[in-house]
């Protein structure tokens, strides 16, 4: 429902009903219909989108995403919390390999600190996605303005 709203700018009317039909494998969401398109998921959903109001639109947008280096790099930059800058910098000098941490290892780990750090990282990740969706929405609005 979120993506339908974000991509169309409208409230979905029957996406849950259509998804229920899909889940229950009712026509046209059955395997026989899909096989008619030689297992080409894009062509299948383009066909389905004519007979559905909401679900076909979302599916066509999802399966229409072109996976290329730019989109993958964008995804990884939004997911930057998976690899920190510290992990990116590698010192291959022999002295760096000999360095040891002189601090004693504690038996009880700092679970609260780690959990807090993960929550912050996840919040930043979600914020990145929200910004990306906002940019996409603004680009669509700019296109509509140019067309008028």
pLDDT (tens digit, 9 = 90+) per residue, 55-78? 999 998 888 877 776 766 666 666
Q: Is residue 89 assigned to a domain?
A: no
Residues with Cβ within 8 Å of residue 33, at least 6 apart in sequence? 27, 44
Element housing 143 (H / E): helix 111-147
Which residue in 137, 3, 144 sits closest to 62, CA to CA? 3
- Low-confidence winner among 4-13, 22-31, 63-72, 81-90 (lowest mean pLDDT): 81-90
pLDDT (tens digit, 9 = 90+) per residue, 5-19? 888 899 999 999 999
Q: Is residue 147 assigned to a domain?
A: no
Q: Is residue 93 assigned to a domain?
A: no
Mean pLDDT, all residues of the chain: 76
Give this prediction's pTM.
0.45
Q: Is residue 142 assigned to a domain?
A: no
33 versus 124: the higher-pLDDT residue is: 33
Q: Is residue 88 assigned to a domain?
A: no
| Structural domain boundaries, residue 28 | 1-83+127-134
Residues with Cβ within 8 Å of residue 4, at least 6 apart in sequence? 10, 12, 15, 54, 57, 58
If pLDDT is split at 50, 70 and 90, which confidence band does 112 have? Answer: low
Q: Is residue 102 assigned to a domain?
A: no
């Amino acid at each position: 429902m979120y993506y339908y709203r974000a991509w169309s700018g409208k409230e979905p009317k029957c996406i849950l009903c259509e998804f229920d039909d899909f889940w229950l494998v009712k026509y046209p969401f059955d395997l026989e219909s899909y096989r008619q398109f030689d297992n080409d998921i894009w062509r299948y959903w383009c066909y389905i989108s004519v007979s559905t109001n909401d679900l076909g639109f979302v599916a066509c947008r999802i399966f229409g995403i072109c996976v290329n280096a730019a989109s993958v790099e964008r995804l990884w930059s939004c997911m930057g919390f998976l690899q920190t800058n510290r992990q990116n910098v590698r010192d291959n000098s022999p002295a760096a390999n000999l360095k040891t941490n002189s601090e004693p290892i504690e038996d009880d780990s700092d679970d609260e600190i780690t959990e807090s750090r993960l929550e912050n990282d996840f919040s930043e990740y979600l914020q990145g996605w929200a910004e990306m969706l906002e940019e996409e929405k603004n680009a669509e609005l700019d296109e509509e303005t140019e067309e008028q």
